Amino acid sequence: MKQIVSTSKLLKVAALISIGVGASLVLMVPSYAQNAAIASAASKSASTTANTAANTSKPALTVTATQVGSGQMTTRLTANGSIAAWQEASIGSESNGLRIAEIHVNVGDVVKKGQLLASFASESVRADLAQAKAALAEAEATASEAIINADRARGLQVSGAISKQQIGQYLTAETTAKARVSAAKAVLDVQQLRMKYTQVVAPDYGTISARMATVGAVVGAGAELFRMIRQGRLEWRAEVTSAELSKLSPGMPVSVFAPNGEQAMGKVRMVAPTVDVNNRTGLVYVDVILPKEKNVSNAFKPGMFARGEFQLGSSQALTIPQQAVVVRDGFSYVFKLNPDQRVTQVKVQTGRRMVVNGIEQIEVLSGINSGTQIAASGVGFLNDGDLVKLVSAASSVAGNNAGNSANTANSATAAKK
C-alpha cells in the first residue's frame, strides 16, 4: 500500500515538472522570434539607408554642356497658298468642219515652239487650194492679154487709127484683169491659210497640261484642243493677311515647301493691289524656281497646296541648340548647370528657328542670359536639382559608339550560343 501511494506521488511530481518545462519553452520561443524580426528589420533599414546615400551621391545622368550664344537670325513670314501655272495657254482649232486625223502629243509632254500637236484631214482643203491656184493662173493669163491690148491702143491713140471709145474699152479691160488677178491671189491666200490650219502647232515651249482632242472628232473653229503651261513656269499664290502685305515687296526671296517636304526657292513677282473682302487676305505672286533635280521638280505641280516662308531680313538674337530644350506641360525649359554639378530647371520663351551647319538653333526671347552654361544632351531625363556628370561632346560620342559595339558583340555571342 505504501508503495502504491509513493508511486502516485512521484507521477504527480513528474507531471508538474513537465508542465513547467513546457511553459518555459513556450515563453522562450516568442522572445527569440521577436528578437530575430527586430534584427532583420534593422538590417533592412541599414541597407536602405546605405542605398539611399549611394543613390544620392551618384550622378543621375552624363550630359554635355553648351553656352547660350548669340548670332544673326533670319526673320521669316510664313504663309500658305496654291501652286499654279504662270500662264496656261489654250490651244484651239482654227479650221471649221475638219476631222482630227492624228494626235502627236499627250498630257505631260514637254513641247517646243512650233512643234506639231495634232493634224486634221486635209483632202478637201487641198482640192480647194488647187482650184484657187488654177483660178489665179487663168486670171493672170487674161490680165496678160488685156495688158498687151491696152499697150497697142495707147500706141495707136496718137495716129487716130482707132476711136477713143475702143481705146477706153482696152484700158478698162486691162484694169479689170489686174483686179481679177488680185482677187484670185486673195482666194489662194485663204486656201493656203486653211491648209496651214490643218496642222495645230505649239505657240510657245512648255508642258501640255490637258488634252481635249480626240482622233476622228469633227470640231468647229475655236474649239479647245489642248492646254499648255507656258515655258513650264510655275508660281506660288500665297495668301497673306492685310496687316502683313506691307512687309512684302517684289524681288524678296522666298522658300517654298511642297507637301512631301521638298524645297524650292522663289522670288516675289507681284503683290496683289487689292484684298479679298471676304477673308481680308491678299495674294502674293511668287515665281517658283524649280531645281534641275527631277525628283524635286516633280514635287511641285499646279493645284498643290504649299507652304512658304518670306525672308524679311535678319537681326541679332540669343540662340541655343534645339536638343537643349525640353517641353513639359506646354512650356519650354532648359537645365542650367551649377558649380556643384547639379542642374536647375529654367523656364524660357522661344522664338525663331534656324538651321546652322546642320544643327537646328532656337531663339531665346526671355528666361536666360547670354553665356549661361546649360545641359545640351539628355535633358529629357533630367529633373530640377539632379546631380549630373559633365563630359565633352567627343567623349559622349565615343562612349555611345563603344556601347553600341559592346551591344553588337553581345548579340553576336548570343547568336553563336
Which residue, among 121, 331, 91, has the nearest Cα to 218 in the 3D structure? 121
Residue 53 lies in a domain: no
Instruction: State residue 11 phi and psi, 5-degree precision.
Output: -65, -40
Span of 81-95, 101-115, 149-163, 370-384 with lowest mean pLDDT: 149-163
pLDDT at residue 135 tops 90: yes
Domain span holding position 281: 81-85+232-314
- pTM here is 0.57
What are the CA-CA distances from residue 81 to residues 276, 307, 338 (Å)?
Answer: 14, 6, 48
Instruction: Give the pLDDT band (50/70/90) at residue 18.
Output: very low
pLDDT at residue 121 tops 60: yes
Which residue, among 332, 349, 331, 343, has the nearest Cα to 372 in the 3D structure? 343
Shared-domain flag, residues 237 and 176: no
Residue 190 lies in a domain: yes
Query: Can you read off the three cell numbers belonging to residue 183?
Result: 482677187
pLDDT at residue 55 tops 70: no
User: Which of 297, 314, 331 marks a domain boundary?
Assistant: 314
Shared-domain flag, residues 262 and 308: yes
User: Which of 314, 330, 352 marks a domain boundary?
Assistant: 314
Instruction: Give the pLDDT band (50/70/90) at residue 317.
Output: confident
Residue 358: burial class (beta carbons within 10 Å; 0-12, 13-18, 19+): exposed
Residue 392 lies in a domain: yes
Span of 53-57, 147-151, 337-341, 377-381 with lowest mean pLDDT: 53-57
Strands 116-120 and 65-67, sheet pairing: unpaired
Shared-domain flag, residues 272 and 341: no
CATH number at residue 251: 2.40.30.170
Shared-domain flag, residues 372 and 296: no
CATH number at residue 178: 1.10.287.470
Span of 4-8, 116-120, 283-287, 306-310 with lowest mean pLDDT: 4-8
Check residue 357 and give its pLDDT: 74
Mean pLDDT of 223-236: 92
pLDDT (tens digit per residue) in 248-287: 999 999 999 999 888 899 999 999 999 998 888 999 999 9
pLDDT at residue 14 tops 60: no
Mean pLDDT of 63-70: 87
Check residue 393 and give its pLDDT: 58
Shared-domain flag, residues 170 and 240: no
CATH number at residue 360: 2.40.420.20
Mean of the per-residue pLDDT values of the chain: 80
Q: Which amino acid, one-letter code, is at 297?
A: S
Say what percent of the chain tops pLDDT 90: 44
Number of domains observed in the structure of the chain: 3
Span of 34-38, 62-66, 186-190 with lowest mean pLDDT: 34-38
Shared-domain flag, residues 307 and 330: no
User: Which of 294, 314, 334 marks a domain boundary?
Assistant: 314
Shared-domain flag, residues 304 and 319: no
pLDDT at residue 57 tops 90: no
Q: Give one DSSP letter per residue of 341-385, joined into a string.
A: SBEEEEEEEEEEEEEETTEEEEEEEESS-TT-EEE-S-GGG--TT
pLDDT at residue 353 tops 70: yes
